Amino acid sequence: MDRPIEPGISTFLVERYWPGVDLVALRTALPGLEAAAAAISASGRPVGHVSSILMPDDEVVFSLIAADDLLVVRELNERASLPADRIAKAIALLGDGTPVALPGGRTR
C-alpha cells in the first residue's frame, strides 16, 4: 500500500475458508487484493493488506486488513473476488506485546 494508514484506522481479521487453497493459489490472489486496496485507497478510503497466513491442511487463509470500517473490508474482498467468511475487528501484537506495524509505519 502506498498511502500511510491514518491514525484512526483499525485492523480486521478476515477468515477465508477456501477449499483447495495452496501457496500458489494464495500468491496468485494477493496481487488482486493489493490492486483492489490501492483502488479503494485512491478513492479516499484508506485500506491495506497487512499480511496473510495460509493453513493448507485446513484450507483456510487468515488475512489482516487495515481499514477505517468493516464495510471497506467487505468491499475490498468483493473487488478482489476472494472469499470472506468472517470479518472481525482484531488487535495484532508481536511477541513482545507491541502492536504490529501497519503499512506506513504506524501501529495500532
pLDDT tens sequence across 19-77? 999 999 999 999 999 999 999 999 999 899 999 999 999 999 999 998 888 999 999 99
What's the CA gap between 58 and 21, in Å, rounded? 9
Sheet holding 60-67, edge to edge: 47-55, 60-67, 10-17, 86-90
Residue 60 lies in a domain: yes
Q: Is the pLDDT of residue 8 over 60?
A: no
CATH code for the domain in which residue 63 is found: 3.30.70.3090
For 33, residues 6+ apart whose C-beta sits below 8 A from its C-beta are: 49, 63, 76, 77, 80, 82
The range of the structural domain enclosing residue 31 comes to 12-90
Reported pTM: 0.81
Residue 7 lies in a domain: no
Q: How confident is the model at residue 5 (pLDDT cuts 50, 70, 90)?
A: very low
Say what the pLDDT of residue 108 is: 42
Give me the number of domains the chain comprises: 1
Residue 6 lies in a domain: no
